[in-house]
A and B are shown apart, each in its own frame.
Chain A
């Protein structure tokens, strides 16, 4: 049941995007997320869309998988779309349904905002699909490294993050198992009134929490048993390597930003 969710999963393959330095990918995404907000007309959105599709193409991730991965957030996107369609009062009026009036500006805004969502989700999924979680945290640790000077426990935070990422699939599997066990005992998660459904989640959540806590404790003990004591004097096994293609990607992104600046209205 949970197995359809692809957000946060890594998909091993051999591609230019897979081979990029995680720091480059993280910087890229950070900047991309900012420049998405530069787009405000059809030309700029097309440009962004084309750029994203090009990145997907380079990554060798099948577009179908990304689209499938959108499904869980589709409701959210639809909701924001409708919100804009119904409550923006700009431009010409195009339709009237009951007490609701729809304006041209609303539809355009709705479409743009949805597009923005799609692009954001595409690029971020692309990051997790093409980068092992451990590399993502290595990248983050390295990028935030300078903060160590002002006593931010960068290494510990990165470790916390990689542990959480590591356990997402485990927790999903666990959820699936417990759900099935309770369904075998007649629990019903998919029908009934809202209060009924909220109550139905308890037999799922409690075992899940219990096992998560147990797992956390076991992990802590196992780490201590193997002599883990934080970042002090710790060397790296996986070294990050910034190569030409990373520089190229950043230059390409720079060009895109410049183009967006010029073409936006």
Chain B
């Protein structure tokens, strides 16, 4: 399911003295099956954009096309369930949304709202809890007895159990341990590659954006600053620092290495693996 944003604008508390503009003139595409990362400085409007992807917010100007449905400012929206099921959003700090007596019930909340039968929902809960790397025993516990990181995982499982076509993640790994981050990010990438799930990731980690994303959207002060393939975006360190971002460590290392070497490597490497291979090739050339 493709999602297209066309010149959307949103202002919070519109029409009151507390009105403030959050995003303006935002246009980009999220093609089906792609992995799109949205990066940008704090307050640049990333979370606001995300809320348009399943009509939690309606644009004040412009329109959002979600599959074959078009959302624009004037119309009243009905029957949002289908959109909400197909576009699953994991919010920033999703652990705040847990409320049920048991983890299992909480994970089943989403699927059952969308009409999945209880038995089936429980099966999904078991599958989802495994995906997020928690043991099945957790299902019987109260979500409030878990650690912060475990709660985060349960909340993510709650959205995965909805089996969305488009998975939207707002800084899903902030505050997790390094190993947990890696596992979680790999799991999302696997879902995207193997199940054809579209993935939209908001992140402050340039490394994650470089490693996983096909396309990168840079937000700056409520507007789209640049969009492009990850490799193109991270080739241009200058414009990234202009908007308060940076290149991944790997790219930074590569630049320093190239200075010492006196000539550039074949391509901008986005991951340590790529860089290692590239440097290895260098040795091959020399001998």
Contacts and interface: CB of A to CB of B under 8 A. Distances in A.
Interface of A: 3-4, 6, 9, 11, 61-62, 65, 68, 174, 177-178, 180-188, 202-203, 206-207, 210-211
Contact of B97 (A9, A186, A207): A207
B158 interface: yes
A183 B144 CA distance: 21
B64 interface: no
Interface string B86-127: 001101001011110000000001100110000000000000
In this complex, which of B13, B18, B94, B97 has the most chain A Cβ atoms within 10 angstroms of its Cβ?
B97
B79 to A, nearest CB: 11
A185 B13 contact: no
Given A183-B84, A186-B81, A203-B109, A178 B97 contact: yes
B15 interface: yes
B113 to A, nearest CB: 3
A150 B102 CA distance: 50
25 contacts: A3-B12, A3-B16, A4-B13, A6-B17, A9-B18, A61-B17, A65-B17, A174-B96, A180-B91, A181-B89, A181-B97, A182-B109, A183-B56, A184-B54, A184-B91, A184-B159, A185-B97, A185-B109, A185-B159, A185-B162, A186-B109, A187-B109, A206-B99, A207-B96, A207-B99
Interface string B1-40: 0000000000011011110000000000000000000000
A186 B16 contact: no
Given A178-B97, A184-B91, A186-B114, 20 more contacts: A3-B13, A3-B18, A11-B17, A11-B18, A68-B15, A68-B16, A178-B96, A180-B56, A180-B91, A181-B94, A184-B84, A184-B88, A184-B89, A185-B84, A185-B159, A186-B162, A202-B99, A207-B96, A207-B97, A207-B99
A185 B16 contact: no
A76 B108 CA distance: 38
B59 to A, nearest CB: 16
In this complex, which of B17, B56, B91 has the most chain A Cβ atoms within 10 angstroms of its Cβ?
B17
Contacts of A62: 17
A68 B14 CA distance: 12
Contact of B91 (A4, A177, A202): A177
A4 B81 CA distance: 25
Contacts of B162: 185-186
5 tightest Cβ-Cβ pairs between the two chains A and B: A186-B113, A185-B110, A206-B99, A181-B97, A3-B13
Contacts of B12: 3
A214 to B, nearest CB: 10
B227 to A, nearest CB: 25
B85 interface: yes
A4 B16 contact: yes
Contacts of B85: 186
Contacts of B88: 184
Given A184-B88, A184-B89, A203 B99 contact: yes
B51 interface: yes
A203 B101 CA distance: 11
A198 to B, nearest CB: 15
A182 B89 CA distance: 10
Contacts of A210: 99, 144
A171 B54 CA distance: 24
Contacts of B144: 210
A186 B54 CA distance: 11
Interface string B157-194: 01100100000000000000000000000000000000
